[in-house]
Amino acid sequence: MHWSLAIAQDIVEKRKEKKHVVATGITPSGGIHVGNLREIIIAEAVHAALIDMGVDARLIYVADTFDPLRRLYPFLPPEYEAHVGKPLSEIPDPEGRRSSYADHFVQPFLDSLDDLGIQIEVFRADELYKSGLYVDVIKEALSRKDELSRIIEDVSGRELPEEWTPFNPICDACGRITAAMVKGYDIDKAEVYYECECGNKGVASFKGGGKLAWRVDWAARWKILGVTIEPFGKDHASPGGSFGTGTRISEGIYNYPAPYPIPFEHILLKLQQEGTKAKVTAMSSSRGTNIPVHEMLEAVPPEILKHVISRVRPEKHIAFNPSLPLLNLVDEYEREIGGIGSGIAGKIPFRHLITLVQVAPVGSEEFLKVIKRSGYAVNEENEEELKAIEKKARYAENWLRTYAPPHVKFEVQSALPTEELKNLSESQKKAIKFMAEYLQDLPTTSAEDWHNEIYLVAQATNMDPKEVFKTIYIALLGKSSGPRAGWLLASLDTEFLSERFEAAEKL
Ligand SMILES: [Zn+2]
């Protein structure tokens, strides 16, 4: 049984709600990375399992756009120092393209969710506050401030300063949401009176003039949005952590049951350099290793990224290596689950495309010829088919550029690699002669034909087939290793091959 179904069954058994809301939430302070994606994929899987069981359920994502910019991140220009402390929704996009800093990071992530085929209702925290949805929970929080601080001190074990309040106003002079202290409030007028570090004194409305402290905000959101299920990083689940605080606040202040928690482990990213030990880094936004989902999706087909994450139970960590292990995983996926891409694209193994795009780049005139020579009857009139092939081939190209180890890369040498060929043995030269002759008899050959021929040549020359492979690589690529020889030979023009082998033999 898939873990998502086991969780869904447990939810139905333990919870009395008839309608469920599965919530996710990620702060868009930087690129939303693959580690963050795990939260959405877990939520989506459980949501889908509930729907399959006939349960009424919604799947939502709240972008924490009203959170402050914590510091000047290395990717920001120095003048953004002036924006530290302001809500992300109120800071301009560093590249000036979108409506805010928050949207600069939220939008590409939403586009990635589209690519992954994940449908989710999206809320932006700043809009929820500005719409007035939080007014009642803010009133409740301010009037029960002492109870709130007692809960937080009790669960977290840390002492809150005397002047702590659950509401952080935005200063109308400096724009920061982190620097103003509430000095008084009026529940009926729904406003607070504050003094800011910058010297400004002002009034802030409950309707968008500030935000609840985050442990309070989390619990308040459960009530406002009717959240009943929520996955979150296991750090929040630790004793004294924010989920414990949230639960006490939700039940004690808001009279709302805390959601069914699904704590999950980190994704460990392994970035491997050829010949070195894999470097393992936890993918969490606070620790630097940060590959945004949309960047990963340029080189990794979406179904693979989703598969990598969803096949592992939430409580287990995922070690993810986008280099050669990813290629092996794609092989396994294509063998056991299904081809990537529709129509003919789905029939061409990804690993094969890794070879083909190195013989002819995507978009070049030669590219389609190479695909056809490899035995795929592409209909050039069919735009959709061509697009699907091109899309898959782009992943292959980007993967080669970004994650491929050097030994996977090759270049067909347009000129005869004379230096390298000089060192061939007599048997190797004979092998080349046999292959040149073979081409004269059979002008078109499939990968399988070539494969069989190589073994025959090995027998005839009394060589290990490995030596024949090596000979072929030297003659074509100018180096002693390369991709599967049958695929490589079948993808190349036979006239080119004839000339090459004849020239190599005569050398
Ligand atoms: Zn200020």
Residues 115 and 246 placed together within one structural domain of the fold? yes
pLDDT in tens, 372-419: 999 999 998 999 999 999 999 999 999 999 999 999 999 999 999 999
**Is residue 95 in a domain?**
yes
Does position 280 have pLDDT exceeding 90, yes or no? no
Asked if pLDDT for residue 327 goes beyond 90, the answer is yes
Contacts of 146 (CB under 8 A, 6+ apart): none
441 burial (CB, 10 Å; 0-12 / 13-18 / 19+) is exposed
pLDDT of residue 106: 96
Q: Are residues 196 and 241 in the same domain?
A: no
Which CATH number does the domain housing residue 123 bear?
A: 3.40.50.620
Contact (CB, 8 A) for 378 and 385: yes
- Residues 403 and 450 reside in one and the same domain: no
Residue 397 lies in a domain: yes
Distance 178 CA to ligand 1 centre (A): 9
Considering the domain boundaries, does residue 445 fall inside one? yes
Please give the model's pTM, rounded to 2 decimal places.
0.89
Average pLDDT, the chain: 93
CA distance 423 to 439: 24
492 and 444 housed in the same domain = yes
Query: Strand (E) positions, 236-356?
Result: 260-264, 267-271, 279-282, 318-320
Residue 399 sits in the same domain as residue 388: yes
Report the separation in Å between the CA atom of 82 and the middle of ligand 1, taken as the mean of its atom positions.
12
Residue located via tokens 């990071």:
105
pLDDT in tens, 74-87: 999 999 999 999 99
Element (H, E) at 201: strand 201-205
Distance of CA 272 to the CA centre of its chain: 18
Over residues 314-338, mean pLDDT: 93
What torsion, rounded to 10 degrees, do the Cα atoms 480, 482, 488, 494 define? Answer: -20
The helix (run of H) or strand (run of E) holding residue 319 is: strand 318-320
Residues within 5 Å of ion ligand 1, judged at the Cβ atom: 171, 173-174, 196, 198, 200
Cβ atoms of 368 and 483 within 8 Å: the answer is: no
Residue 272's pLDDT band (cuts 50, 70, 90): low
pLDDT grade for 288, boundaries at 50, 70 and 90: very low
E strands, 272-317, are 279-282
Please, which pLDDT band fits residue 68 given cuts at 50, 70 and 90?
very high
Q: What percent of the chain has a predicted confidence (pLDDT) above 70? A: 96
Does the pLDDT of residue 320 top 90, yes or no? Answer: no
In a domain, 497, yes or no: yes
> What is the four-CA torsion angle of 337, 343, 344, 345, rounded to 10 degrees?
-60
Distance 431 CA to ligand 1 centre (A): 80
Tokens 């991709």 label which residue?
483
| pLDDT greater than 60 at residue 453 | yes
Name the token pair of 361.
Answer: 């780049």
Edge-to-edge strand ranges of the sheet holding 267-271: 279-282, 267-271, 318-320
Same-domain pairing of 431 and 394: no
State pLDDT tens for residues 187-224.
Answer: 999 999 999 999 999 999 999 999 999 899 999 999 99
Closest to 168 (Cα-Cα) out of 147, 194, 149: 194
Residue after which a domain boundary falls, among 145, 180, 212: 212
Structural domain contains residue 177 = yes
Instruction: Identify whether residues 124 and 17 lie together within a single domain.
Output: yes
Give me the pLDDT at residue 291, please.
83
Per residue in 417-451, pLDDT (tens digit) is 999 999 899 999 999 999 999 888 776 778 999 99
Mark which of 380, 408, 436 sits at the end of a domain.
408
Hey, what are 46's tokens?
A: 């459980």
Same domain, 77 and 223: yes
Q: Give the pLDDT confidence of 136-181 residue by residue, as tens digits.
A: 999 999 999 999 999 999 998 999 999 999 999 999 999 999 999 9
Residue 99 Cα to ligand 1 midpoint, Å, equals: 23
The residues, any chain, with a CB within 8 Å of residue 240's CB and separated by 6 or more, are: 155, 156, 157
Using the mean position of ligand 1's atoms as its centre, give its distance from the Cα of residue 172 in Å: 7
Q: Are strands 318-320 and 267-271 parallel, antiparallel or unpaired?
A: parallel
pLDDT of residue 290: 67
Query: What is the secondary structure of 31-77 as a DSSP string?
Result: --BHHHHHHHHHHHHHHHHHHHTT-EEEEEEEE-TTSBP-S--TTS-
Flag whether pLDDT at 274 surpasses 60.
no
CA of 197 to the centre of ligand 1 (A): 6
447 and 376 Cβ atoms separated by less than 8 Å: no
373 plus 251 within the same structural domain: no
Give the domain-ending residue among 234, 264, 294. 264
Residue 61 lies in a domain: yes
Asked if residue 399 and residue 374 are part of one domain, the reply reads yes
Residue 157 lies in a domain: no
Distance CA 62, CA 187 (A): 27
In the predicted structure, residue 282 carries a pLDDT above the cut 50:
no
- In terms of domains, do 193 and 232 share one? no
Distance 482 CA to ligand 1 centre (A): 63
Task: Answer whether residue 19 shows pLDDT above 50.
Answer: yes
pLDDT of residue 439: 87
Q: How far is the CA of 214 from the centre of ligand 1 (A)?
A: 20
CB 57 within 8 A of CB 19: yes
Angle between helix 324-336 and 302-310 (nearest 10) = 90
Cα pseudo-dihedral 204, 206, 210, 211, rounded to 10 = 160
Q: Where are the beta strands (DSSP E) in 74-200?
A: 121-124, 167-169, 180-186, 191-196
Residue 202 CA to ligand 1 centre (angstroms): 9
Q: What is the CATH number of the domain that holds 424?
A: 1.10.10.350
CA-nearest of 426, 363, 429, 430 to 396 is 363
pLDDT tens digits, 104-113: 999 999 999 9
How many independent structural domains does the chain possess?
4
Rounded CA separation 399/166 (Å): 47
- Whether residues 395 and 435 share a domain: the answer is no
Asked if 280 contacts 270 with a C-beta cutoff of 8 angstroms, the reply is: yes
How far does the centroid of ligand 1 lie from the alpha carbon of residue 212, in Å?
17
What is the domain range of residue 443? Answer: 418-506
Q: What is the pLDDT of residue 266?
A: 87
In a domain, 26, yes or no: yes
